[in-house]
Each structure stands twice: as structure tokens, then as C-alpha cells.
Amino acid sequence: MSKRALTTESGAPVADNQNSASAGVGGPLLLQDQHLLEKLARFNRERIPERVVHARGSGAYGHFEVTDDVTGFTHADFLSEIGRRTEVFARFSTVADSLGGADAVRDPRGFAVKFYTAEGNYDLVGNNTPVFFVKDPVKFPDFIHSQKRDPFTGRQEPDNVWDFWAHSPEATHQVTWLMGDRGIPASYRHMNGYGSHTYQWTNAEGEAFFVKYHFKTNQGIRSLSGEQAAEIAGKDPSSHQTDLLQAIERGVHPSWTLYVQIMPAAEAADYRFNPFDLTKVWPHADHPLRRVGRLVLDRNPDNVFAEVEQAAFSPNNFVPGIGPSPDKMLQGRLFAYADAQRYRLGVNHTLLAVNAPRATTAHNYGRDGLMAVNGQGRRAKNYEPNSYDGPAETGRPLSAPLPVSGHTGTHEAPAHTKDDDFFQAGELYRLMSEDERQRLVANIAGGLSQVSRDDVIEKNLAHFHAADPDYGRRVEEAVRALRED
């Protein structure tokens, strides 16, 4: 029996629910993609008032200090000289659970940093993993739905979790990260952070580079086993919050060293796999880590609601010298994050103390709306251009333009010579020690064995076999043994 056609909310049939419309193959996404915008906008409005994702979080203030010269790659002012310090606010979070969930769970962690620079706030929004489950934002709402509580049973269902992954082979790399030893950090202080997406840096001469951010914890990596996590979550569901708060209060200030990988823009088109694919890492042998500076957190918020829950991050908050890449997931998030904040906190959320610029002052023609404060703009004109000395455009773009070509439409990502959904997952598996492999297999089998449909199990096993024959064999044997018990 044929399935009913998937439609938009106005009833129009959806031709492609896997790929967003872009300006040519591999180009930026198009505002005319009504299906993508409708999905993301509706998804952002599914819960009120807590965040749909990253609801359970902790935050702290601190500073970022430049330790190495990167002016050959970006003219961003806050990175312009060694020793330059910029105030920051960082927020860490679990992804899938609600505000009342436990901290010590197997889940990616959000890792977001707001830099209060003299040229405006710069938001770097990432995770504690360098990759993600999907590569196109049109699939993001579906992915999160599969990980959240089932609409009928009201709990997270292994059938839903693994069914989505069975139909998304690109998720195999991130699943291997999540089910491995780093899947449950011991604390927010003992995990790395990654920008995950590919971003663009532009230097003073207008040369463009693509970059990936890596925040390496100076406390060392520490993680929990499933058994340890269950015990800690039962004793203190807020264990990560407790640890971060108490460490800073007693003067033990957590820090991370920021490194970047840099790729000249001209290399991207011919790189062996798509460098803008969020399910892939760039091998360090190709693009070594370059040290940039040090992030230090040294002050707790005075009010968690005002400063953590109302903290609003959006990857479209760029500053001169830094901009977007054609990374599809990043392109979707440029809209979705800001839209989520406008819905959850209101159109004037940037006037809240934690979100307002600190090293400069915002000047624009935004007026009125919910929670407008301080006679916003007062009697000044609210249009531009004007003859009354109002703020005016600079004519200086923040970053280099992205070249585009081709026809509009929904396109699969451009094919590179070594594009593959499984190779990097296999590489990660082969890097693990034997003990790490045993724990990875046990973690995967523990969840996959609970799935009720044999075809979903077989599809997932095929992904692990494709990543590495030994990986697939061991997961298959472990699942069989658990299902026979």
C-alpha cells in the first residue's frame, strides 16, 4: 500500500524531505525554501517556555585571551594581538532532555561561547563532539523528534531512536562517538568543545579561509561509565551544575585552549570529501591544529534564570573577519537559533543584560515589541537612510563572499572523491583500544537489542559492518546474545 504524500502545513506535497534548496550544488541555502523554513520555524515553537533542545544547562562568565598570532587569517578585532582579553559568557547543556533532566546522561553536550567584543557580540555555538548526526537542517526536527519522548508512550523509545539512525547512515560516525567512552562526560570542566561546523575567516587583504574550532580542556578528559552515571544521576541530578558552580566558587577556574584547523578557501572544492559536511572531521594530518588562545571561566552568574536560561546564542552573530561557510547545517541554524530566541524570549531579547553588547553599544532602528525598554530609540528617527545623523551602513562586509553557481532546487551535497558515510566511523573505531571497543559495543548493543523490529536492527547492523567488519561483527554478536537471553 502506498504511503500518503508528505505535505506542508498548507497541504502542498513535499518533493524532497532530505535536502534543502540551495543555490547550485553545494551552495548556500535559499530563503524561498518554504518547506525548510516552515519545519524549522514550527520546530522552534513546539515547547514553551524552555528550549526545545539544550534545555538543561549551566553557565559562567570569564575571559578569552589571545596567545598566538592569527592575523594572517582573520582581521577579527578581538583576535588582533597577543595578550588581548575579551569578556565571555559560556553555556554548557545536554541536548535531548528537558529542563528537569539529569546531567549525567549519555547525550551530546552543547558548548556555546558568547564573546563580548568591541565590534559586537560573537556567538560560537557548538558541541562536545566534532561531528553531528545529520548533514542537512531539513532533517533536524525529525532527528530530535526521534530522540525525544514518544507522543503516545511519553518516554524515549529505543524503536524511535534506532529507527531514525537506521534510515540515516550519515549518523554512524556520531553514534560511534556517542556510544563510546566520551558519551557521558564526568563534568562540563572535563570535556572538549568544538565549533563542529565549518566557518569562514577573512584576513585584512580579503583572503578567505575555512576554519574549524577546537576547545581542548586543560583539566583533562574525564568520562563516566553507564553504571557510574546512573549512580550519580540518582544522587544528584544536577551533578554537572554542582561541579561547575562549586569549582568556580572555590577558585578553581576551568580553562580550555582554543585551536583551529585552517583550510585555504581554494582547497575546499577539490578536497577528498566535502569539507562542509557536519558528519565529517578534517584529519589533523591534512590541517594541523593551530593554537589561538585560552578560555577561562572565573565567575558564576548571580541568577540562573536571568543569566543562564535567558542567555541567547545564535551562530549568525558574527563580527568583522568571521562569517559563514556553505555548511548546510550551519546555514539552517543561522535562521533557526535566532528564530528560537525571538519566540522564546521575545524580539527584544538582545536588550537583556546577558545578551547585550558589553564592549560596544548597539545602534539600529529596531523599535517597540514585547518587553521594549528604556524608551527604545526615544524620539530619534526609525528609518534609514535619514538626514538626522542616525546610524548608517559601513559598506564593509564582515566576511568574504561565497561563490555560487547552478540552478535552484533541492540538491544532494556535491560528490567529492572520498565522500562516504562510514569511513570516518571506522577510523574512529580503529583508533580505540580494545577496552574502549568492548565498552562501545556493549553500549550500542544495550540499546539496539531493545528495538522491536528486526528490519530496523538489521539496517543499523549494516552501518556498523560498513564502518568496519570487526565493528559490525561484534555488535551483531552482542545484540544476538542479549536478544536470546
237: Cα within 13 Å, side-chain hemisphere:
8
CB 442, CB 481: distance < 8 Å = no
From the candidates 19, 44, 127, 128, give the one annotated as an active-site residue: 127
d(CA 66, CA 50): 35
443 is catalytic: no
User: To which residue does cell 524532497 refer?
Assistant: 16
Say if CB 209 and CB 282 are below 8 A apart.
no
Q: Is 214 a catalytic residue?
A: no
Q: Which residue has the cell 520555524?
A: 41
Q: Residues 19, 44, 54, 75: which is the catalytic one?
A: 54
On the CB side of 190, CA atoms within 13 Å amount to 18
Are the C-beta atoms of residues 273 and 263 closer than 8 Å to each other?
no
Name every residue whose Cβ is closer than 8 Å to that of residue 433 and which is 6 or more positions away in sequence: none
Q: Which three cell numbers stand for residue 451?
A: 528495538
Phi, psi of 359 (to 5 degrees): -100, 0
Name the DSSP class of 149.
Answer: B
Q: Are 92 and 322 in contact, with CB atoms under 8 Å apart?
A: no
**Max Cα–Cα distance, the chain, nearest Å:** 80
Distance CA 272, CA 394 (A): 38
Question: Would you please indicate which residues are annotated as catalytic (active-site) residues?
Answer: 54, 127
